[in-house]
Structures are given as structure tokens and as C-alpha cells.
Amino acid sequence: MATKKMILDLDTGVDDALAIAYALAAPEVDLIGIVSSYGNCLVDQAAENSLKLLEILGATDVPVFIGASHSSTTDNFEVMQVSKDIHGNNGIGEVVLPTAKRPVESQSAVDFLIESAHKYSSDLIFVPTGPMTNLDAALTKDPTIAKLIGNVTFMGGALTVEGNVTPYAEANINQDAQAADRVMRSDLNIIMVGLDVTLRTLLTKKETATWRNLDTVAGKAYADVTDFYIDAYYNLGIDKTGCALHDPLAVGVALDMSFVDTIDLNMKVTYDENNYGRTIGDNSRLNNDSTNVKVAVNVDKDRYLKVFMDYLTNLFNNH
């Protein structure tokens, strides 16, 4: 058993699926649970996708919890068409996986996170790769966890590059900018893995062919799921060479910060109508003696991709 424990907070689409595999394959951490969110698909679909993926990866001991179904400021949520185009209507590239043999947990995602923070304290790593709604709700219910959780490494935001849903906003932050702003202003130790670095970290069909050639259930499933994503990137003109490893890069950085160069900032998220979802330094805290966010601005993409492929190929070869 590893000392470090990880909880993933996923709106389980294609790159979330890759994040699950990375967390399971990494020897230095135990994946102790997945909390579900909304974004790439609806929250119930996200949970179901996570259960199915865990099953084909032989990780049926990892519990899945239902989290928020919509943002902290709305009453419902509808999946954007662009999300369906990128991840498929089912979130996992239209690939049909066997129905999961176990249900989601009855405990709420928020209560599981709070309980885990008190149990594991500084050994707990929390990785949200969708909106911040669940984490914000947990902080509201029990503010003490901000000083307990060892690290929060999130995939989201954009500091030095444009957003991907507006000129300023990245999709995950855009789903619930108010929640993200409250998280950024908390006492948590945070690493931001945004579009600044994830768009530089690409996977191609050369790599997915490696998985397909393993001739295993997991290898073929993950190749099919990821090839859909790569094709979507090509067809939508996002990138003609490959797909970005958004969410698995956040998992990698959570475990090994040397993959990225960071700058220390006190961050905020704007949510006025002109700049909704913008992640930017907070002028009012610019001269504070301490900062709580490390923003990744460059990445050792070749070294990361090698570790990523070594981890996942070994995992898929055994399932």
C-alpha cells in the first residue's frame, strides 16, 4: 500500500478515462475513490463510465460516488454540443463497454471527500478534472479540510494562452466560475494544470496502436475510446497532430511536479459577464508574503509522454 492516497473528481469523458488509468498504474499512490461531476456528460453517466472503466482495468475495489449534477449557481445542466462532438454522446467515444456489475456508493461525494481529508490529511491528493462544484461544496460544509488536504491539483484554467470556450475561459472553470473562485481563494495548496501545458502534451494514433496491438480487452477499449478523441480533435480543427492529454497530465503533475515549470501566484476567477471564467492573478493579494497556487506554464512533454505510455501500456497489457 502506498502512503499517498488519491481521489479523482471526474466528468468522465475520454481524457478522464486516461486519468483513471494513470492513477491506477502509478506505483507511488493508491486511488481510493472517484467522485463524479458534470461536464463532458451528465453526472450519472460520468459515474457509470467510471465504474465500467474500473471494471475492465481490474479495479473493482475503487468506489465511485455521485457528486453535483449542476453548478452552484444553476438548477440544471445540459451537455454542450461541442463536448458531445469531442467525447461522444456517451462520454467515452461511443464505445460500448460491458454494464458495470456494481452500483455507485450511497455516501455522497462531498461527505466522502471530507471523511478522507480527516482520515489521510496531508497524504491525500485531490485531483478535480471537471468543474470545482464538489470541492467548493466540501469546503463550505467543512472549512477545516482546506488545511488538511495535502494537495489539490486541478485540470483547468488558462493563464498564458487563450481559453477554449471563450477568449478567456477554459471549459472546466467556465462550468462553475464562482465555485472555482472560492477554491482559489481558500487555504488549499493548489497546482493549476491548465491549457498552458495540456495543449502541448499530445497523444497520436501511433501510441494508441501500441495499446491495440496488446490484444487485450483494456488495450483495445482504450485505443477505440482515444482514437475517437483524436479524430474529433482533427475534424474540429483543434489539433491536426493528436489529442491533448488534459486530465492525465494533472494526475502526473500531482505525483511529480518536476514534469512542469510553475509560477507562484494568488489566483482568482472572474465571473462578470465580459470575463466569465477567466483565471488570473489577484491584484489585491499581489504583494502578500505567501501564495497558495502554483500555475504550470511549461511542461517536459517528452518525458511525461514516456512515463504515461510506460504506465498505461503495462496496465493494459495485464487486463
Q: Are 231 and 224 in contact (CB under 8 A)?
A: no
Catalytic residue, from 15, 87, 224, 246: name it. Answer: 246
The residue to which cell 481510493 is assigned: 32
- In the chain, the amino acid numbered 186 is S
Residue 8, strand partner residues: 34, 127
Residue 87: active-site member: no
Q: Among residues 67, 11, 72, which one has the least CA distance to residue 38?
A: 11
Q: Are 195 and 158 in contact (CB under 8 A)?
A: yes
Q: Are 247 and 156 in contact (CB under 8 A)?
A: no
Distance CA 247, CA 127 (A): 9
Number of neighbouring beta carbons within 10 Å of residue 280: 16
Distance CA 171, CA 127 (A): 16
Q: Where are the alpha helices (DSSP H) in the chain?
A: 14-25, 43-56, 81-87, 109-120, 133-141, 171-175, 177-184, 195-198, 205-212, 217-235, 246-255, 301-317
Residue 246: active-site member: yes
**CB neighbours of 274 closer than 8 A, spacing ≥ 6?**
none
Q: Are 194 and 170 in contact (CB under 8 A)?
A: yes
Query: How many CA atoms within 13 Å lie on the side-chain side of 77?
Result: 23
Catalytic residue, from 11, 181, 196, 224: name it. Answer: 11
Q: Are 83 and 36 in contact (CB under 8 A)?
A: no
Which cell is 213 given?
Answer: 496491438
**CB neighbours of 78 closer than 8 A, spacing ≥ 6?**
none
Active-site positions read: 11, 246
